[in-house]
Amino acid sequence: MARQGKPYEAARKDAAAFFRGDSLRTEVFLSRYALRALDGTWLETTPDRMWDRVARTMARREKDRALRHGEFRRLLEDFKFVPAGRILFGAQNPRAATLFNCYFIPVRGDSVDAITRWINEASRTYSLGGGVGTNIDVLRPRGARVRNAGVESSGSASFMEVFSTVTGVMGGSRGRRGALMITTRVDHPDILEFVTAKGDPERRHVRNANISVRITDDFMQHLGRDEEVRLWFTTPHERIERAVPSRRIWGTLLESAWATAEPGVLFWDTVLRGSTTQYNGMEVQGVNVCGEIPMEPYGACNLGSVNLAAFVRDPFTEHADIDWDGLSGAVRLAVRFLDNVIDVGASRHALKAQRLASLRSRRVGLGILGMADCLAALNLVYGSEPSLSLLDRLMGAVKESAYEESIRLAEEKGPFPAFDPVRHLESSYVQRLPESIRNGIRTKGLRNCALLAVAPTGSISCLAGASSGIEPIYSLSYLRHVAGQAYRVEHPLVARYRELHGPSAPLPGTFVTARTIEPGARVRLQATVQRHVDQSISSTVNLPSGTPLSAVETLYRNAWESGCKGITVFREGSRPSVLSEAGDGIYRAEAGAPVGVCTFCEIPAAGESSTSAGPDRARLETEPPPGRLNR
């Protein structure tokens, strides 16, 4: 007999009681993750039921299902580990839905057939809830000769609008909207047109996509010497080349990022050097929507994040410390959980090529959220030298626990099918792992080709009541508008502190927010975390409106020099409809046209139109960019 669902008002009453009246978390849970019957009523009205469903589903791949169900259930409880939205929504859902947030779909050639094939494949992927990354530099530049009625090509950048429109149309209903990342190489002849594609005054061009430029070390070196760079493209009919001052490209890119917050930058040689998959057909060609997962053609990746704040013992006291054993155990279980998602979700990909690529590489993206909350609870100032020292140790522990578990799983279940121990051990990242882990990889194998990535975690952070990814707290209080009503919301950590110290206790100096943190500290923190992450990091550096262009250039150069895999900035005022200051540290979210939609961060609530200003721009109607491209 089918389960009877509850109507919205009854479901909201249950959820609000669970979240102790927190309207934001209540709306996020009910609109995004709670299981609903096909008639739209709610089968789950509190997260504990969701945890049961998800744990039970992922335990099905285990020999001892009861044991693993219990372990996974305890892992999920109280949001200690938060799987990505596609898993929370899709597990046992009668609707057709993927369990993977991340896909990379290539444009397979410089032809009309290749373009229409991409549209078909991306549309099918969007229909199941997946986000798509792609590269357009395979397409010939504007003015290149063609042998059809067009005479000359409209150029690669002209198809950005086509791809963006498809993305918006495929998710244009009240459900999950499509999400797209478009990248190009820095030496493509259309690079200047690409960089400025989203700079129209109304912000309506390419509004359903993120864009990023793949920058090489060679370009940065030419820039350092103030030299020209060669832009090139080869067609069957001609070789197109021209020299352009590197400073012109760089300056245009910086001006666009300063004015519009796009494009982001991927330091592609750094990405390739750090990749663990440059062999056996797993060579990375592009990234997912938010940039933290470099992937091979048709690559797929599922995601989940450990909530660091949940592992602080004696928070806000002089005895505050990390529960190191608890954290290590959670990381190990999370790796097993995400590895099971690969098999449970194998039949839920839109394309056969995606299923085959996922099963062949068994790529997962275990990340973190609640980092800013964790540091504050440990009495550390975000971005300070003591905080960087702690994060270096903490991320080292996460890395080692994850790799040790993947080795253990390889021994138990077998390594990923494309695994080659000699080639895998050649990776510069793997060579930096402890000797005991390298020996384990050599003798026992590895279950997953790559393990770690820090996603922006926009909506799941709201659900967990924690800060996003590695982002700082944006604001301690703000106004949120839902269905015509305005709610004053405090960052949940404030309430936790005052539960311990009294309702009127002044907040300590460790409760820093994004606009009080020196931007260079953000880059240093990102670089510290990146050293321990085998894939990438999504984050966005927030800048005051008066930040000069020269400061953006300094951040970009420092990011490249320090080993970050990319950089994105968001200057206040560079995008409409994010937040405006309402006084007394309160920010007001205002409606506006959507610009781009990240599968992690865009959170339309029940009964409202989305006011997010883009994938890296707004977290529901709370904080501006929870992250996108700072890899």
CATH, residue 243: 3.20.70.20
Domain count, the chain: 1
What mean pLDDT, rounded, does the chain reach? Answer: 89
Residue 207: inside a domain: yes
Residue 15: inside a domain: no
Q: What whole-number distance in Å separates Cα of residue 216 and Cα of residue 115? A: 26
Residue 390: inside a domain: no
**pLDDT at residue 623 greater than cutoff 90:** no
Give which of 448, 388, 376, 382 is closest to 413, Cα–Cα: 448
Residue 70: inside a domain: no
Q: Is 292 a catalytic residue?
A: yes
Q: 170 pLDDT band (50/70/90 cuts)?
A: confident
Task: Please give the pLDDT value at position 597.
Answer: 32
Residue that has been written with the tokens 């026992």 in this structure: 444
Q: Is 462 a catalytic residue?
A: no
**pLDDT at residue 626 greater than cutoff 80:** no
Structure-block tokens of residue 362: 């068994």
Task: Please give the pLDDT value at position 203.
Answer: 82
pTM value? Answer: 0.91
Structure-block tokens of residue 65: 């299902």
% of the chain residues with pLDDT over 90: 81
Active-site residue, selected from the candidate residues 288, 307, 340, 542: 288
Query: Across 268-355, where does the E strand assignment appear?
Result: 286-287, 294-295, 300-307, 312-313, 321-322
**pLDDT at residue 260 greater than cutoff 70:** yes
Active-site residue, selected from the candidate residues 208, 262, 290, 448: 290
User: Does residue 263 have a cis peptide bond before it, meaning omega lies within 30 degrees of 0?
Assistant: yes
Residue 412: inside a domain: no
Average pLDDT rounded to a whole number, residues 57-83: 97
Q: Are strands 102-104 and 210-215 parallel, antiparallel or unpaired?
A: unpaired
Average pLDDT rounded to a whole number, residues 253-264: 96
Q: How crowded is residue 578: how many other Cβ atoms within 10 Å of its Cβ?
A: 26
**CB 208, CB 178: distance < 8 Å:** yes
Q: Which domain holds residue 191?
A: 102-286
Q: 175 pLDDT band (50/70/90 cuts)?
A: low
Q: 586 pLDDT band (50/70/90 cuts)?
A: very low
* CB-count burial class (<10 Å; 0-12, 13-18, 19+) for 582: middle
Average pLDDT rounded to a whole number, residues 329-337: 98
Q: 2 pLDDT band (50/70/90 cuts)?
A: low
Helix or strand (DSSP H, E) at 70: helix 65-76
**pLDDT at residue 298 greater than cutoff 50:** yes
Q: What is the pLDDT of residues 357-412, one digit of tens each?
A: 999 999 999 999 999 999 999 999 999 999 999 999 999 999 999 999 999 999 99
Task: Please give the pLDDT value at position 414.
Answer: 98
Residue 177: inside a domain: yes
Q: What is the pLDDT of residues 110-156, one digit of tens each?
A: 999 999 999 999 999 999 999 999 999 999 999 998 887 767 899 99
β-pair partners for 245: 228
Active-site residue, selected from the candidate residues 71, 121, 262, 292: 292
Q: Is 598 a catalytic residue?
A: no
Residue 168: inside a domain: yes
**pLDDT at residue 615 greater than cutoff 70:** no
Residue 218: inside a domain: yes
Give which of 320, 292, 421, 336 is closest to 378, Cα–Cα: 320
Residue 283 CA to chain centroid, in angstroms? 20
Task: Please give the pLDDT value at position 51.
Answer: 98
User: Rounded to a whole number, what is the distance in angstroms from the first to the last CA of the chain?
Assistant: 48
Average pLDDT rounded to a whole number, residues 5-11: 96
Task: Please give the pLDDT value at position 237.
Answer: 87
**pLDDT at residue 631 greater than cutoff 60:** no
- Candidate from 39-48, 453-462, 618-627 with smallest mean pLDDT: 618-627
Task: Please give the pLDDT value at position 576.
Answer: 60
Structure-block tokens of residue 474: 């944006």
DSSP H helices, 414-480, are 421-424, 428-431, 435-444, 458-464
